[in-house]
Amino acid sequence: MTTHTTRMLILGSGPAGLTAAIYGARAGLKPILVQGIQPGGQLMTTTDVENYPGFADVIQGPWLMEQMQKQAEHVGTQLMYDTIVEVDVSQRPFRLIGDGGDVYEGDTLVIATGAQAKWLGLDSEEALKGKGVSACATCDGFFYRGKKVAVIGGGNTAVEEALYLTNHSPDVTIIHRRDHFRAEKILQDRLFAHKNVSVLWNKEVAEFVDGGGTAGLIALELRDTVTGERSRLDTDGGFVAIGHHPATELFRGHVELDEDHYIKVETGTTKTNVPGVFACGDVMDKHYRQAVTAAGSGCMAALDAERFLAAEDFKVAEAAE
C-alpha cells in the first residue's frame, strides 16, 4: 500500500477533471488526478465532435481527450490509474482509497466523476451508438439537419431534446411508453404547440433497425405497451432521452446532494457544503452537460481550490506570528 499526497486531489478524467488539473498544475499545486473506471469520460465513446471551440474541422472525442491528458501531464499533473472505493472528507487532508489499497490524500478535493446517460439496454441500441443512435441532441442534433428524427422518453429531458431538435429537423417524433408526459406543463404546452412535433403514445422501442453497411439507423421497431402490436417508424436519428445517472454513489452521506443525486454547489461557484471539496462538470450540472461547460467548471474548481488554499495558508502564517 502506497500513500500519495498532494495539495489538489482530483477524481475524474473527463474535460472537467483534466481542465482542473491543467489550472492546478499551472498554479504550482502539483495535482494528482485519479482517472477512475472510464478514463477520458463520456467523450471516449463519442465519435464526431463539431461543437468544441478551437477546431475548424470535425474532431474525434477520444483524440480530444488524449490531447487534454497530454496537456495536463505536460504542465505537471500526476495521472493515476486506479478506481476509488472509499472516501473520507470528514477531515483534512481528505482521503480516497483505491481498490488496490493505495491511499490518496489531498488538502483539497475536486470531484469530477461525471454522469452517464441512461440507455434502454438493447443490443441493437449498443450496436448503433454513434451511427444514428445518440443520447445528446445538443451534441449531435446538428448532424440531422433536414432529416427525420425520433426522441424516446417522456420527462423534461425528452421534451427539451425534442424542442431543441426542431431547430434542425422538420419532422420530430416523441415515443413514450405511457399515455401522458411527466414533463413540466410549460414544456408540454410548448411541445404540443409546435407544428414539427408529433407524439406516439403507449409505444416502446423493441429494436433499432440497422440499414447495413454505412447506412446506420434507418428505422425503429416499436411495440404497443397496451396491445403488444408491432409497428415501424422510419427515421434517420434516434435520441434516447430517459435521464442521466450522476456518478455520486461514493459521496452519498459525505457531501450534500440534490433530489436527483447531483452534488449541490454554492451558486456561481464549485464549492460543496464541505470546505475544501469542490465539484465540477456533469456531476453537478444537470442542465447543460456539454464538454465545454464541463471544462469551464473545471477551471472554476481549480481557481476555487487555489483561493481556498491561499486563505488557509494565510491563516496558518498569521497564527504563527
Domain count, the chain: 2
Same domain, 194 and 127: yes
Q: Which residues have a catalytic role annotated?
A: 136, 139-140
- Find the CATH number of the domain harbouring 172: 3.50.50.60
Q: 216, 241, 266 — which closes off a domain?
A: 241
Q: Which H or E run includes 238?
A: strand 237-240
Same domain, 226 and 287: no
The closest alpha carbon to 17, from 97, 113, 86, belongs to 113
Q: 241, 262, 292 — which closes off a domain?
A: 241
Please name the residue ranges forming H helices in the chain: 15-26, 61-74, 123-127, 137-140, 156-165, 185-192, 291-320
Same domain, 23 and 98: yes
Please state whether beta strands 115-117 and 244-246 pair in parallel, antiparallel, or not at all (unpaired): antiparallel
Same domain, 227 and 138: yes
pTM beyond cutoff 0.95: no
Same domain, 143 and 248: no
Same domain, 135 and 231: yes
Task: Name residues whose C-beta falls within 8 Å of residue 30's C-beta, 6 or more positions apart in sequence.
Answer: 6, 7, 8, 76, 78
Residue span of the structural domain in which 253 resides: 3-116+244-320
Same domain, 142 and 169: yes
Q: What is the pLDDT along the chain (321 residues), one digit of tens a residue?
A: 899 999 999 999 999 999 999 999 999 999 999 997 667 777 776 767 888 999 999 899 899 999 999 999 999 999 999 999 999 999 999 999 999 999 999 999 999 999 988 999 999 999 999 899 999 998 899 999 999 999 999 999 899 999 999 999 999 999 999 999 999 999 999 999 999 999 999 999 999 999 988 899 999 999 999 999 999 999 999 999 998 899 999 999 999 999 999 999 999 999 999 999 999 999 999 888 899 999 999 999 999 999 999 999 888 777 777
Same domain, 213 and 250: no
C-alpha cell, 304: 476555487
Same domain, 194 and 267: no
Same domain, 27 and 100: yes
